[in-house]
Amino acid sequence: MLGYLKVFWEQFNWSGLLSALQRVLGVLLCLTVHETCHGLTAYAMGDPTAKKMRRLSFNPLHHIDWLGLFSMLACGFGWAKPVPVDMRYFKRPKLGMAATALAGPASNFLLALLMLFLAHVIAVCAPASPGAFVLWLFSFLLTTALLSIGLGLFNLVPIPPLDGSKVLFALLPERAYLTLMRYERFGMALLLLLVWLDVGGQYLSDAIYFVYQWMAGLFF
């Protein structure tokens, strides 16, 4: 029995497990920051709904939709629990909704910059022969930066219920805006269909890597 355990231990794919752990932690961080910043922005503009529902938290368990998390890990497309927002609290409802929506992608871009900065610090300060943990942490920071940029850009696509649609809808007349917001839940079916058919996927991938290379160029 001990011999079998020894063989299992020696042949186990630890590198694959550590890579998967990087991705899981990175996705959790990106989604949590994204949703929390939605709630914080709404709260700053007068809407206490997210606070009452304990969504102004950096605890990922308050935000994670497990199906959406699995989908993002497996397919590169996923979602968290939407932060509840009551636009009636905003002095200018459409503007408040647009600002709340933009806060999510903006937070992802700022998170990506922070991750790349920390990776730069490690690259500068690490010894000539860094240990396994330092290398793993460096890779985690770069991976999370890429994931965060991807989440931010994807959410700027102007298809409901993504954040970009709320910004675009804010430019519409009041009646058209309220009508589209009422039916935005049907946009998820369209979104899933487009993702399944990979419509525009290559353009999004190119945009993600372009932004990633530009941001990385600021530090490396």
Q: How far apart are CA 72 and CA 64, in angstroms?
A: 11
Residue type, 184: E
Cis-peptide, bond into residue 161, ω within 30° of zero: yes
Q: Which of 21, 29, 20 is nearest to 64 (CA)?
A: 29
Helices (H), 85-186: 93-125, 132-155, 163-169, 174-182
Q: Is 35 a catalytic residue?
A: yes
Kindly report the number of other CB atoms within 10 A of residue 6's CB atom: 10
Instruction: Tell me how far apart the alpha carbons of residues 158 and 202 are, in angstroms, rounded to a whole number.
Output: 17
Q: What contacts 56, CB < 8 A, 6 or more positions away? A: 36, 39, 40, 43, 50
Query: b vs e for 209-220, b when ≥16 Cβ sit within 10 Å of the residue's Cβ?
Result: eebbeebbeebe
Catalytic residue among 10, 35, 174, 184: 35
Q: How far apart are CA 114 and CA 145, in angstroms?
A: 8
Which residues are the active-site residues? Answer: 35
